Every structure is written in structure tokens, then in C-alpha cells.
């Protein structure tokens, strides 16, 4: 399986062009868009979402990860093998939280280049063809790299900020729920939120926090739009 994890958004030509490459160069391989609308240009937010939302991909899946504001510059192109899955994308910190949480990691610098490589769309021209190569059973097209040499910003293990707002208005954070007691109160934008296990347990119109289906703390408003009602945005901080 090939999976995409990008900030391209669903509208527009970008995902479609990548799918066309997959279909042409790895015909018959299923392709899924696991996260097509990451916060634009936000490498940090994507880094915390990646391990949570790629953990259910089958073994040997290839996840094409493109949040790449430095596209066309000297930033490196990489392949990472982590937890029996392949990740393809820019070496800009996007893989830093993933590799921090993995016991065994291999990394490779992509030194292969296509005949035509645009300066602004490496997702289509470089990363998609490399993913297709891996899907066909070929080795990474480049030399091995010590994972310690990948770009790894000094970010915390868990991020007490909003990293994504879904269309329901729920606010996903960079905190793993496993590290927080269900007795804890979370304060965000001046509002205190108690834990509820399900939406059905929450009082209508009352903000609360819960463990989402991917193991992250999420802020929600029962039968309402938490982001709009509480004034939440990506990067809004919270405290436990």
C-alpha cells in the first residue's frame, strides 16, 4: 500500500497528479490518502501527527510525506524505514518525532533524480516515483545515512499545542493521551476541560477532552464546534 500524508489539501491538482504517478509506475498498488490536509507549511504539527496517523498502515506500506516549504532548496530528500514501514519525504524535521519513538530506524539519502524535476513539486516528480520504486520491491535509490544525521529539531516528546482542526471543529493536540490521567483537567484559551470517554458522555455545549482514535488528546464541544466557540487555532497552547 502507498499512503499520502501531505498539506496539499483535497481541492486542486496536487494529489491527483501524485496518484497518476503511482498508477503509472506502480500499477495495481492500492493508494490511500491518510492525511491530505495537514496545516500548510507546518512541519512541526505534521511531525507529531505522523506517528499517530501512520501507525495503522500495514507492514511494508510506503508513506509519502510532503510538508515541504523548502522544496527546491538544498534540503535533502530521504527515505526512512521505521516499524516495518517506509517513509519518503524531505529531511526537514518531518520525521523527527517518528524516529524518536522507534527502536530500530534506517535512513537513506535519495540520490536518484528523474529526467525532469520541477523546482516546486518534488511530491510528484521525486517522492512519488521513489515510493513507486519501493512498492515494486526495489531498494531505496540512495546511500544509507546514520539516522542521527537527519534533521531533528529540539522539540518536546509531546507537544502541548493544537496541531490540527477537523471539519467538526475538534482540536487535535500533540499530546499522547497515554501520558495523562483521566482525572486531569486541561485548560485551553481560558476554558477548563474535563475528561470524557465518549461524546455521548459529555454534556451538550460543554467543552471536554478525550483520547481520540489515534491516541492523541483532542478538545471537543459536545454537539458543537469547539474551534469556533473557544477561538482555537493551530498552535494554540494548552496546559494540563
The candidate with the shortest Cα–Cα distance to 3, out of 45, 46, 66, is 66
**pTM of this structure:** 0.96
Identify the residue whose cell numbers are 515494486.
136
Percentages (nearest 5) of helix, strand, coil residues in the chain: 25, 30, 45
Within 10 angstroms of residue 17's Cβ, the number of other Cβ atoms is 15
Using the predicted structure, report yes or no on whether residue 103 has a pLDDT greater than 90.
Answer: no
Q: Which fold has domain 2-149?
A: Rossmann fold (3.40.50)
Please write the tens of the pLDDT for every residue from 173-221: 999 999 999 999 999 999 999 999 999 999 999 999 999 999 999 999 9
Please write the tens of the pLDDT for every residue from 49-67: 999 999 999 999 999 999 9
Distance CA 227, CA 67 (A): 23
Query: Cβ distance 3 to 26 under 8 Å?
Result: no
Q: In whole numbers, what is the pLDDT of the chain averaged over residues?
A: 97
Give the CB-side neighbour count of residue 191, counting CA atoms within 13 A: 18
Query: Cβ distance 63 to 134 under 8 Å?
Result: no
The reported pLDDT for the residue numbered 131 is 98
Which one of 4.10.490.10, 2.40.30.90, 3.20.20.190, 3.30.360.10 gives the CATH number of domain 159-239? 2.40.30.90
- The mean per-residue pLDDT over the stretch 98-108 comes to 94
The reported pLDDT for the residue numbered 55 is 95
Query: Cβ distance 131 to 64 under 8 Å?
Result: yes
The reported pLDDT for the residue numbered 232 is 98
Region of 12 on the Ramachandran plot (φ > 0 left; ψ -120 to 50 alpha; else beta): left
- The mean per-residue pLDDT over the stretch 159-181 comes to 97
Beta-ladder partners of 203: none
- The mean per-residue pLDDT over the stretch 128-146 comes to 97
| % of the chain at pLDDT higher than 70 | 100
Question: Which ranges in the chain are annotated with CATH 2.40.30.90?
Answer: 159-239
Using the predicted structure, report yes or no on whether residue 132 has a pLDDT greater than 90.
Answer: yes
Query: Cβ distance 188 to 230 under 8 Å?
Result: yes
Amino acid at each position: 500500500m502507498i499512503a499520502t500524508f501531505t498539506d496539499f489539501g483535497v481541492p486542486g491538482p496536487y494529489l491527483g497528479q501524485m496518484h497518476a504517478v503511482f498508477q503509472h509506475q506502480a500499477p495495481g498498488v492500492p493508494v490511500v490518502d491518510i492525511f491530505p490536509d495537514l496545516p500548510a507549511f507546518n512541519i512541526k504539527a505534521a511531525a507529531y501527527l505522523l506517528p499517530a496517523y501512520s501507525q495503522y498502515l500495514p507492514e511494508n506500506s510506503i508513506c509519502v510525506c510532503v510538508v515541504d516549504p523548502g522544496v527546491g532548496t538544498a534540503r535533502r530528500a530521504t527515505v526512512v524505514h521505521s516499524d516495518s514501514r517506509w517513509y519518503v519525504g524531505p529531511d526537514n524535521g518531518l520525521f523527527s518525532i517518528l524516529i524518536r519513538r522507534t527502536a530500530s530506524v534506517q535512513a537513506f539519502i535519495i540520490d536518484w533524480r528523474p529526467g525532469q524535476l520541477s523546482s516546486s513539486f518534488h511530491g510528484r516528480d521525486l517522492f512519488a516515483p521513489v515510493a513507486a520504486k519501493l512498492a515494486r520491491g526495489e531498494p531505496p535509490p540512495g546511500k544509507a545515512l546514520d539516522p542521527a544525521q537527519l534533521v531533528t529539531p529540539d522539540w518536546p516528546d509531546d507537544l502541548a499545542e493544537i496541531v490540527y482542526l477537523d471539519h467538526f471543529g475538534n482540536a487535535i493536540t500533540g499530546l499522547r493521551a497515554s501520558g495523562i490521567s483521566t482525572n486531569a483537567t486541561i485548560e485551553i484559551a481560558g476554558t477548563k476541560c474535563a475528561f470524557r470517554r465518549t461524546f455521548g458522555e459529555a454534556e451538550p455545549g460543554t467543552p471536554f477532552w478525550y483520547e481520540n482514535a489515534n491516541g492523541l488528546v483532542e478538545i471537543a464541544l459536545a454537539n458543537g464546534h469547539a474551534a469556533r466557540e473557544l477561538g482555537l487555532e493551530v498552535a494554540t497552547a494548552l496546559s494540563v
